[in-house]
Structure formats: C-alpha cells, structure tokens
Amino acid sequence: MSLPDNARDWQVEEESTLAENDVSLLHGDALMARYGVRALADETGISKSQVSLALRRCLEVGLVRKDRQTGVPRANAKALFEFIVHGLRHVFPARPGEVTRGIATTFAAPVLEGRLFSSGDLPMVWPDAR
C-alpha cells in the first residue's frame, strides 16, 4: 500500500535509524524551509507572527526543544504528556452551557451510562439540533 505524497512528508523516522551521513543531509536551507515559521504558517493557516509567538512560548515553557543537530523545533513528549494530563483542564475549562438538545456526553453517554453518576438533573450534551 502506498501513501499519498503529502502523507510521506509527515512520516517520522526514528533518529537511531539514521546513518551518520544521513544526518548531514538534514542540515541546511531545505530543512529550515520545511520547518520554518513561514512553512508552518502555510501548513496550518495561522499567521506567521502567531506561529512565531507560539513556538517561542512553547520553547520558553519546555513543550518544544530545538534538536541539537538540526536546530529544528521538536515536541518534548514528556512535558507535552504532562501538560495534557494535568494542565489542559486549566487552559480549556469545561463550562456547562444553556439547556439544549444534543448528543449525550460524560455520564450520559451510552458507553458510560450506569457507570458514572451526577447530582445534576439534566445530562450533559454536545449541542445538536437533531
């Protein structure tokens, strides 16, 4: 099974599989052009200034580290996992909205029905008119 061209661009090779001479190929303008602010802005649709600010902030707080050999920003998996588990709820708190029709979530979801309970009368839903 072959992958589309754009999917191959995002494949990640483990650093241990790269030979010494392959690492030298990673340096240079081509790599920085691929992972630079302009390229990331084009890929994500976010402005270059916002990408730059986001990268700078992620570097400051340790969610991203620059690769020692290439200088390319890479995710700090341990810090990112810790942030997702313990910090995400503080950045994006769940706030109940108005009473509406929708798809059952949390304790009212079919997979959790009867396993989780709430003191509230109405189940939490994801708003949906149908």
Q: What is the pLDDT of residues 72-103, one digit of tens each?
A: 888 999 999 999 999 988 988 878 888 899 88
- Give just the sign of the alpha carbon dihedral 77, 82, 84, 87: negative
Q: Tell me what pLDDT residue 32 has.
A: 67
Euclidean distance between the first and final Cα of the chain, in Å? 39
35 neighbors 73 (Cβ within 8 angstroms): yes
How confident is the model at residue 95, as a pLDDT? Answer: 81
Give the helix ranges, DSSP H, for 67-116: 77-82, 88-91
pLDDT band at 63 (very low <50, low <70, confident <90, very high): very high
Q: Which residue has the higher pLDDT, 4 or 108?
A: 108
CB 74 within 8 A of CB 64: yes
Question: Taking Cα atoms as reference points, which of 89, 93, 91, 97 lies closest to residue 125?
Answer: 97
The model's pLDDT over 28-60, given as tens digits with 9 standing for 90+, comes to: 567 667 778 888 899 999 999 999 999 999 999
Pairwise CA distance, residues 61 & 79, whole Å: 9
For 123, other C-beta atoms within 10 Å of its C-beta total: 14
